[in-house]
């Protein structure tokens, strides 16, 4: 890796950290976006959403509910980043199944 590449990567990662730390979730969807940015795992996000008391149609939140939000057209910059991460993670998992 070249020094310039390393500096660019650091800058991108710092931008992501700052974006997540300043993100103020106000809806079910934005809470999912923030939690996925932090944990990177749909099952973990579903568990957290249930602990926070969220429901979908009167039922507990499951990983499919989380995935559906992440697949939606991005509504903001963090959503765009986590959607891309979700798709990349999904592709990686499919290679092993």
Residue 33 reports pLDDT greater than 90: yes
Query: What angle is formed at CA 80 by the lines to CA 75 and CA 85, rounded to 5 degrees?
Result: 140
For the entire predicted model, the pTM comes to 0.89
Distance CA 32, CA 37 (A): 8
Contact 82, 23 (CB under 8 A): no
- Residue pLDDT, tens place only, 39-96: 999 999 999 999 999 999 999 999 999 999 999 999 999 999 999 999 988 766 666 6
């Amino acid at each position: 890796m070249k020094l310039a590449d390393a500096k660019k990567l650091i800058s991108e990662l710092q931008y992501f950290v700052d974006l997540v730390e300043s993100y103020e979730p106000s809806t079910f969807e934005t809470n999912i976006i923030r939690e996925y940015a932090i944990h990177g795992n749909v099952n973990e996000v579903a568990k957290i959403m249930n602990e926070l008391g969220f429901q979908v149609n009167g039922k507990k939140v499951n990983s499919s509910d989380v995935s559906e939000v992440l697949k939606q057209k991005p509504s903001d910059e963090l959503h765009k980043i986590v959607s891309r991460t979700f798709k990349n993670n999904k592709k990686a998992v499919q290679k092993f199944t």
